[in-house]
A and B are shown apart, each in its own frame.
Chain A
Amino acid sequence: MFKKILIANRGEIAVRVIKACRELGIKSAAIYSDADLTSLHARMADEAFNIGASPSSESYLNKTKIIELAKKIDADAIHPGYGFFSENTSFIEEVEKSGITFIGPTSKSVKMMGSKTAARTLMSKNKVPVVPGTLEAISNVEEGIKISENIGFPVLLKASAGGGGKGMRKVTSKDEFKSAFESTKREALKSFANDEVYLEKFIESPKHIEVQVIADKHGNYRHVFERECSIQRRHQKIIEEAPSSFVDSITRDKITAAAIQAAKACSYFNAGTIEFLMDTNKEFYFLEMNTRIQVEHPVTELISGIDLVKEQISIAAGNIISFNQNDIRINGYALECRIYAEDPENSFLPSTGKILLYKEPNGIGVRVDSGFAADSEISIYYDPMIAKLICWDRDRSNAICRMNRALDEFQIAGITTNKKFLNYILNTDEFASGNYDINFIDNLNYTSLLSDKSSNNNDEYEIAASVLAALKKSNRKSSKTKSASESSNTWWEQKYE
C-alpha cells in the first residue's frame, strides 16, 4: 500500500480523499491556492502546500509544479479527484513517467474515452448503443448545419473534451446554429483547453441513467448498480439518486452488462462511470464514460456499502477488487442534493463571499460531504458547490422525507444558496412519482416558485428576523443586550410544571 498520497484537487472531494487516506493509514498531502488557505481540505490534510495564485490555471492546473511537489515530498501516488487533471492525458502521462502512481486508469484508457467522438466510435464497435450524430468534430458552421438537417433538429452541440455539463448547447433551428456553435467552442476552449465540438441528435424526454463500474489491474470487472441523475439545470446535475425508480431488474441487467462491456473496451481499471440516456421505452444510449471518481459517488456507497475511494486507492496499489459481484445487493435508497452558492430567485447567479455561519445537519441516514466551514470563502475562481447532502433510508419516499428534514437543519449564512429550490423540487408531484426526465427543471414554472411566498413556511422566520433587526437597531441607540448570565427577563425564566 502507499505511504503518502498527494491530492491534486480542492474542496469536498479533496476532503473525501483525505478521509479515505486516514482510514487506510496513508499520509495525505494537500495542495492549495492563495484563495484556499482557509479551506477545509488544507486544514485537514497531514501536510499542506501552497501551489500558487488563486486562478486555477496558476495553481490547481499547474502540471509541472504539482508533479515536482509530489517528487519533492516523496508522495508515492497522486489522487486527482474529479475535474482539474482527473481526465487530462498529458498530466497522467507525465505522472506515469515520473514513477509516481496515478490513482486512476492509464492515460491510454483515458485517451480512448476522453475524446467523446473517439469514444462513440469505440462503443459502436463494441456493440454498446450510441445516440445518432457525428463521430468526428465539426469543422465549420455550414457542415454542422448540413449534418443537423440530415439527422433532424433539435440537435445537441457538445465539446469533445467536455463533461460535467459545461460546453453543451441545444440548437432547435438553423438560425440559432452559428451563435450556439461559437459560444460552445469558446466555453470549451476556456474549460477544457480544447475547442473541438461535435453534435448528436437531441433525444426528447430522456432520463439520465449511469452505471458505476470498478475494475482492477488483474482484469476483474464489477458494477455497483445504476444512479439516476435526471434532475439537471443547464446540464449540471442537482439531485442524484440510487437506485433509479425507473429501472426494473431486467433493464438493470442489460444496462450494467453494457457498462462493463464499455469498460472492457478501453481496458479500464479504477472506479468509472458510464453515462447513458434512457428513453421512455427503456432503450438506452451511451453518452460518455467518466474515467474518474464522480461527484455523486456517495449515493452508490450508501446503497452498496462499498467505499469507492478506498477501492480506487487499493486498486491503484495493485490489489484485486475487494468484493465479488454476487456479494453486493441494493440496500434501500439514497439521494444526494448539491448545495450550490447561487441565487435561484435571481437567475441562479453565483453568490460569493464569506460563509458567516455554517452548521451541517446530522442524524440517522444523513451524510454531508463538504469542503467548507464557517469563515471559509466562496471565491469567484472555482465551482460554486458548497456541499453535498446525502440521505439514505430503506425506501425512496422515506429517504425524501429525511432529505427535507436534513435540508431544513442545514444552516448557511453569508451567501445565498439553492436550498429553497431543492426543497421545492423534492416536494413536486413529479419528483415524488419518479415521473420526470432531464428537462424537468427547464419545464418548471419558476414564477410559481418565486411568487409562492405566502404559502411557504417562511412567514414565521420573516417575523423572527424582523423582530431581531428591530431589537438590535433599538439597542444600537440605547443599552446593550443583556448577556445570558445577567438576563433578568421574568417571562423567559417562567417555568411550567
Chain B
Amino acid sequence: MNEFVVRINGSLKQIKIVNENIVEIDNVQMNYAITELSPSKFILKINNKIYETSLWKRSDSEDSILVNNYYTNLNIRTTLQEKAYKLLSASQSNTEKVTIIKSPMPGLVFKILKNAGDNIVKGETVMILEAMKMENEIKSNVDGTIKEIFVSEGKPVEKYISLFSLK
C-alpha cells in the first residue's frame, strides 16, 4: 500500500514509494531521504536538493505543508481510497447537484443581499462578511438558484461554515 494520489493546486500527482531510497512521481524515479527534526518538522532530500519541510495533518486526507518558503494545503489518498472516492462522486453527480458556499474566514454576517429562490450568476455578491474592519463580499462561484441560506444578519460565523447553497 505505497501508492498515493495527491491533489495539489489543481494538479494531480501519482506518488509511489518504491523503497527506502526511491520514490516515483508520475512515473519518474527520484532519490529521496527524510530525517525527522521534530514531530512536525523534517529535512527532506530529493535528488541533490535539501528542503526544510513541515507537515500539519488537517484530517485523514488533508495536510498543510511548508516546503522552504512555499506553504500549501493538499489532499492525499491511497490509490484504493481514490477509487472509492471516484465511485462515490460519480454516483452523486447523477442526483441533483448542490453547491455549498462556505465562509472563507471567521467574521460577522453584515448583510445578506439575496433570498432563497433568487436566481444569481457567477460572481454576483450574495452577502457581506465583516472581518478585520473590512467588508468582504461573498460571491457565488457558479450560476444557479439559491436553495437555502444558513446564516442570518448580525451573526458571527467561524471559518468553513456553510453560508448558503445553490442548485
Do B4 and A473 touch (CB < 8 A)? yes
- Taking the closest CB of chain B, its distance from the CB of A295, in whole angstroms, is 15
The answer to whether A350 and B13 touch across the interface, beta carbons within 8 angstroms, is no
Say whether A139 faces chain B, with CB atoms less than 8 Å apart: no
Residue of A nearest to B12 (CB): A466
Q: Which B residues between 35 and 89 are near A, CB-CB below 8 angstroms?
A: 35-37, 40-42, 44-46, 49, 51-57, 63-72, 74, 76, 78
Q: B71–A412 contact, CB under 8 A?
A: yes
A24 at the interface (CB under 8 A from B): no
Q: CB-nearest residue of chain A relative to B48?
A: A496
A489 partner residues in chain B, CB cutoff 8 A: 20-21, 33
Mark contacts of A372-411 with chain B using CB atoms, 8 A cut-off: 1 yes-contact digit, 0 otherwise: 0000000011111000000000000000000000011111
Check B10–A468 contact: CB distance below 8 A.
Answer: no
Complex Cα–Cα for A466 and B3 (A): 12
Q: Which residue of A lies closest to B32 (CB)?
A: A467
A492 to B135, CA, bound (A): 52
| Chain B min CB distance to A385 (Å) | 10
Counting CB contacts under 8 A, is A352 at the interface?
Answer: yes
Q: Are A191 and B133 in contact (CB under 8 A)?
A: yes
Instruction: Report which of A186, A349, A472 forms a contact with B105, defined as CB distance below 8 A.
Output: A349
Residues of A within 8 A of B72 (CB): 461-462, 465
Name the CB-closest residue of A to B131. A380
Report the Cα distance A461→B6, complex, angstroms: 13
Q: Is B154 an interface residue (CB 8 A)?
A: no
Choose among A190, A407, A466, A468 the residue that contacts B69 (Cβ–Cβ < 8 A): A407
Contacts of A411 in B (CB 8 A): 52, 66, 68-69, 71
Q: What residue of chain A has the Cβ atom nearest to residue B135's Cβ?
A: A187
A481 interfacial contact with B, CB 8 Å: yes
Answer yes or no: B134 CB below 8 A from chain A CBs: yes
CB–CB B17/A471 < 8 A = yes
Whether A465 pairs with B74 at a CB distance below 8 angstroms is: yes
Check A357 against B34 for contact (C-beta < 8 Å): no
- B121 CB, min distance to chain A CBs, angstroms: 16
- Whether a CB of chain A sits under 8 angstroms from the CB of B146 is no
Residue of B nearest to A472 (CB): B55
* With A347-B139, A487-B35 as contacts: A465 and B1 at CB distance below 8 Å: no
A469 x B65 contact (CB < 8 A): yes
- Give the nearest-CB partner of A453 in chain B: B9
Interface residues on B, range: 35 or more
A205 at the binding interface (Cβ < 8 Å): no
A333 to B117 Cα, complex, angstroms? 57
Task: Name the interface residues of B18-36: CB closer than 8 Å to any CB of A.
Answer: 20-21, 23, 25, 30-36
Of chain A, the residue at the smallest CB distance from B15 is A470
CA of A474 to CA of B133, assembled, Å: 44
A416 vs B17: C-alpha distance when bound (angstroms): 29
Taking a contact as CB atoms closer than 8 A, the residue among B2, B20, B25, B131 that contacts A352 in the complex is: B131
B54 proximity list for chain A (CB < 8 A): 356-357, 413
Whether a CB of chain A sits under 8 angstroms from the CB of B8 is yes
Across the interface, do B63 and A469 meet the contact criterion of CB distance under 8 Å?
A: yes
- Residues of A contacting B105 in the complex (Cβ-Cβ under 8 angstroms): 349-352, 380
| Contact (Cβ within 8 A) B1 A474 | yes
Query: Chain B's interface: helix, strand, loop or mixed, by majority?
Result: strand
B144 interfacial by beta-carbon distance below 8 Å: no
Interchain CB contact under 8 A, A463 and B46: yes
Interface string of A471-497 (1 = CB under 8 A from B): 111100100011110010111100000
B132 within 8 A of A: yes
How far in angstroms is the closest Cβ of chain A from B106?
5
Looking at B15, B41, B52, which has the most chain A CB atoms within 10 Å of its CB?
A: B15
A356 B35 Cβ-Cβ under 8 A? no
Q: In the complex, A463 Cα to B105 Cα: how many Å?
A: 28
User: Smallest Cβ distance from A70 to chain B, in angstroms?
Assistant: 25
Which of A416, A460, A492 lies in contact with B33, CB distance below 8 A?
A492
The one of A187, A352, A413, A465 that contacts B106, using a Cβ cutoff of 8 Å: A352
With known contacts A462-B8, A489-B21, A484–B46 Cβ distance under 8 A: no
Contacts of A464 in B (CB 8 A): 44, 46, 51, 53, 67
Q: Closest residue to B3 on the A side, CB-wise?
A: A470
Complex Cα–Cα for A407 and B69 (A): 8
CA distance A370 to B10 in the complex (A): 32
A458 touches B70 (CB 8 A): yes
- Contacts of B93 on A, CB cut-off 8 Å? none
Q: How far is the CA of A351 from the CA of B103 in the complex (A)?
A: 11
Q: How far is the CA of A473 from the CA of B15 in the complex (A)?
A: 11
Interface bits B135-167 vs A (CB < 8 Å: 1, else 0):
111010000000000000000000100000000
Q: How far is the CB of B30 from chain A (nearest CB, A)?
A: 8
Smallest CB–CB gap between A136 and chain B, Å?
A: 26
Distance A298 CA – B70 CA, assembled complex (angstroms): 26
> Which residue of A is nearest B75, CB measured?
A469
Enumerate 28 A-B pairs (CB-CB under 8 Å) in ascending A order: A187-B135, A350-B136, A380-B107, A383-B133, A408-B69, A409-B69, A414-B56, A453-B10, A458-B9, A458-B70, A461-B70, A462-B72, A464-B53, A465-B6, A465-B74, A467-B46, A468-B55, A469-B55, A469-B74, A469-B76, A470-B17, A470-B76, A473-B78, A474-B1, A474-B2, A481-B35, A481-B42, A487-B35
The 10 A-B residue pairs whose C-beta atoms are closest, nearest first, are: A413-B66, A492-B33, A461-B70, A470-B15, A466-B6, A465-B65, A470-B4, A461-B67, A349-B104, A481-B36
